[in-house]
Structure 1
Amino acid sequence: MQHHDETLGKYLAGVRPLGKYLAGVRRRPHVLAVILSGSVARGDEREDSDADVYLVVTDESFEEARKAGALSTVRHDVATYSDGYIDVKVISLGYLDAAAERAEEPARAPFQYARVAWSRVEGLHERISRIAALPEAEWRRREQSHIAAARLYGGYFLPQADKLDDPLLRQWAALHLVTAAGRALLARQHVLFEGPKYLSRAVREIDRPTEYDALVEQLLAAPRPETAFALLGALESHQPAGLGCEETLGRFVQDDELAWFFSTPPPERY
């Protein structure tokens, strides 16, 4: 929308609040690029949406911002619309390279639709594109890990909650089952997980079992083993993961309980 473009333009070029000139980010030598993300980059922003940007700075400036606790800031002064603002995340080129190598999916996801608003870095587009790309084998591995987790949460922990009459364990198991099942669906279709806030929306936009939504709603409202078994059955009939039942516990223990030992993230941190 025009007012978002105008706000971004003021952020890049500079403004004159109360007659005092403040240089835009393009005039600052430690700033290397500005990457637009969020709903404005996707093209599904609302009138009142904020503009999300990554401010790419030198490694030295990034370290200074980290020490000052200023890696995330909000700029209201450049907004050209009521209650608008720019949500700024400070990063470096080293951050971009590390993200392509080992970032969790919520950190990768914004870059799948991000676009460069301004840059003095050659090849920045290619650098960004590597962040949102995962090899086929890695997607398959993640899908199987989420399936293993779903089986344990729904097939063991939730029945244990009933046996122990433990309301906390019951809710915990149900939430983790729904999350693992949703992430297995996303991984099968190569869709990055943006975070819990966006999981339900993302799953509604992809292919899934016909009864999936109703079972999830029922399970969250009243966590019961029989509902969990029905959800697991629907999920695995829809997309066989090629993970044998005898492999499930070993995969879960390696992925989750021994993640600290192998220095690998557990599936919920992929």
Structure 2
Amino acid sequence: MLRQHHQEVIDRLTNELINDNRYLALIVGGSIVKGWEQENSDVDIFLVCTNEEFQRRKENQEFHYFRTDLCNYPGGYVDGWVVDLDYMKQVASIGNEPSRSAFTDVIIAFSHTPEIPELVNRIIEYPIAEQLHRVQTFYAHFEALRWNVSEALKRDDQYYLKWAISDLVLYGGRMILAHNKILYPYHKWFMKTLDNASDKPENLMECIFQLLQDPSAANVKAFCECILNFRKWESPPEGWPSAFRVESEWHWMRGCAPVKDW
């Protein structure tokens, strides 16, 4: 259930745009549709436009949509992106997990084309065919980061340590999300999404909190054991060092996105 002042903003925007022939649909996403909002949360949107309008905006790089005039609550604003149907089709076909996750739980405020609901349903489907490869790859990165953490601790290099700890949590968490067939929402909502995963180690969030607060060898060990003892993880058949090298350092030679962008 949306808060009344957020619903009022959506209603105002809908009434303004629904008869504008430049726009095909208004899609509302972000924290307010997930139930994670605060009183002053913004209203996140995708505004789907016609091909002609998108080409006009493309020439001027006018993809950002921002309004404050529709909000009558402190700190409120509308923030989003203008896209076209082709963008949504590409997300459904080849989009990375953060791009897909942005459409999870969305509200279609209005749509003039029956394609929109069907596209949204395709976008938010977890890519089951890629699940095993993702688990194996995240496992390889997890093991590589575990080694990097040990090196950083030995050298007492705080920059190296903070980077390695952050990525160790990232890939351990992504192993859990992939196991649950949950799309990775990028960093802002990563912890919230991970905490909501149904099948995870009982003490996972506590281990993460302790590790981030105190990146000691003992807390590193506790977190790694929390992840590794949860289940028998599928490891890359070629071994994690080779898998890590190919996906982390050689991805550019194959024209592929780095694992962080999956």
Is the pair's TM-score, using the shorter chain for normalization, greater than 0.5? yes
Counterpart of 2:173, as a letter, is G
Q: Shift of the alpha carbon at 1:176?
A: 0.6
Q: What is residue 28 of structure 2 aligned with on the other side? A: 36
Q: What is residue 8 of structure 2 aligned with on the other side? A: 6
Q: What is residue 197 of structure 1 aligned with on the other side? A: 188
Question: How large is the RMSD of aligned CA atoms in angstroms?
Answer: 2.1
8 Å contact from structure 1 (residues 158, 224) kept in 2: no
Q: Shift of the alpha carbon at 1:244?
A: 5.8
In 1, distance between residues paired with 2:231 and 2:133? 14
In 2, distance between residues paired with 1:176 and 1:128? 30
Match of 2:171 among 170, 180, 185: 180
Q: Shift of the alpha carbon at 1:43?
A: 4.4
Distance 1:230 1:44, change over 3 A: closer
In 1, distance between residues paired with 2:214 and 2:161? 9
For residue 60 of structure 1, give the secondary structure of its aligned residue in structure 2: helix
Counterpart of 1:78, as a letter, is L
1:94-129 deviation per Cα after TM superposition (whole angstroms, max 9, x unaligned):
110111122221211121211211111122101111
In 1, distance between residues paired with 2:211 and 2:37? 32
Runs of 4+ deviating beyond 3 Å: 43-47, 80-83, 224-227
Q: Shift of the alpha carbon at 1:229?
A: 3.5
Q: Shift of the alpha carbon at 1:44?
A: 4.7
Unmatched runs of 5 consecutive residues or more in structure 2: none
Q: What is residue 237 of structure 1 aligned with on the other side? A: 229
Match of 2:151 among 154, 160, 165: 160
In 2, distance between residues paired with 1:200 and 1:135? 21
Which has the greater radius of gyration?
Answer: 1
Instruction: Please tell me whether residue 97 in structure 1 is matched to residue 89 in structure 2.
Output: yes
In 2, distance between residues paired with 1:99 and 1:219? 34
Q: Shift of the alpha carbon at 1:66?
A: 3.5
Match of 1:61 among 27, 49, 53: 53
Q: What is residue 88 of structure 1 aligned with on the other side? A: 80
Instruction: Please tell me whether residue 110 in structure 1 is matched to residue 102 in structure 2.
Output: yes
1:9-43 deviation per Cα after TM superposition (whole angstroms, max 9, x unaligned):
22122xxxxxxxxxx22232221111111233334
Distance 1:34 1:228, change over 3 A: same
Q: What is residue 269 of structure 1 aligned with on the other side? A: 261
For residue 193 of structure 1, give the secondary structure of its aligned residue in structure 2: coil
In 2, distance between residues paired with 1:45 and 1:216? 23
8 Å contact from structure 1 (residues 34, 116) kept in 2: yes
8 Å contact from structure 2 (residues 9, 71) kept in 1: yes
Counterpart of 1:173, as a letter, is A
Q: Shift of the alpha carbon at 1:234?
A: 2.0
Q: What is residue 220 of structure 2 aligned with on the other side? A: 228
Counterpart of 2:64, as a letter, is S
In 2, distance between residues paired with 1:224 and 1:242? 27
8 Å contact from structure 2 (residues 12, 70) kept in 1: yes
8 Å contact from structure 1 (residues 48, 83) kept in 2: yes
